[in-house]
Amino acid sequence: MSERRAEIADLYYRTNSVRFGAFRLSVHIDNPNLPLSPYYLHYPEPGEPGSELLPKLYHLIGQEFFTICESKGFRPKRIAGVPKGALPLADAHARHYENYPYNLLTFTKAEEPGKTTFIGPDGEFSEGEELIIDEDHTSGGRNKKLIRAAAVSGGLVVPNMLTVVDRQQGGVENMAREGTRLLAIFTIDELLQFGTDFGYATQTQADAAKEYWNLNQY
């Protein structure tokens, strides 16, 4: 693991962005009978323990997203984050390009019982331009498919998406079926292995998470 990726992983635990227990995820909206997840990935709210470290975490993620794009040979014209958790990630990523902040587009997430809609894109762009969508965590890719559809309907093309953590529950494969490549900084397996190696998680917690994503593919 590179030095920067290791620092991001370390900050995930120091910011309390990795939690263990029993949690409902966005995937439960479409699959309400799924068992609760034994772990949860979520950035702390302002004032919560660990939140003071989030600016550093976001900065490093933006650097790593830029590095992934450069290493894969693409420079997106426009960047957007899945609201609202990934908005600071997209901003940190977009700062690495000379057309910042005009390269940032925004979407609005509207939720009703059992239904999620993304409205947009808002911002400056031309039809046919390439948009890269940044996300924090991916399970089956439900929200990514919805926001991608909104972007394509608005006249953009979305050949690539980025996520910090791939929960290994079908998101990469599901987005590939949509014609979009999903690239991750970590798999959840890698993030939890880091946690067990450095004393942030027990082996029992890591094993329970691994069993969960192996049994619950979307």
- As for how many domains the chain has, the answer is 1
Q: What is the CATH number of the domain that holds 197?
A: 3.40.50.2020
- Segment 98-113 shows an average pLDDT of 93
pLDDT tens digits along 46-91: 999 999 999 999 999 999 999 999 999 999 999 999 998 999 999 9
Task: Annotate 115-126 with DSSP letters as a single string.
Answer: EEEEEEEESS--
- How far, in whole angstroms, is CA 34 from its chain's centroid? 21
Side by side, which strands form the sheet with 157-166?
Answer: 78-81, 130-138, 157-166, 181-187
Domain containing residue 24: 3-215
Cis peptide before 83 (omega within 30 of 0): no
Task: Annotate 147-189 with DSSP letters as a single string.
Answer: HHHHHHHTT-EEEEEEEEEE-SSSHHHHHHHTT-EEEEEEEHH
Tokens (6 digits) for 142: 């439900």
pTM of the model: 0.93
Q: How confident is the model at residue 108, as a pLDDT?
A: 96
113 pLDDT more than 90: no
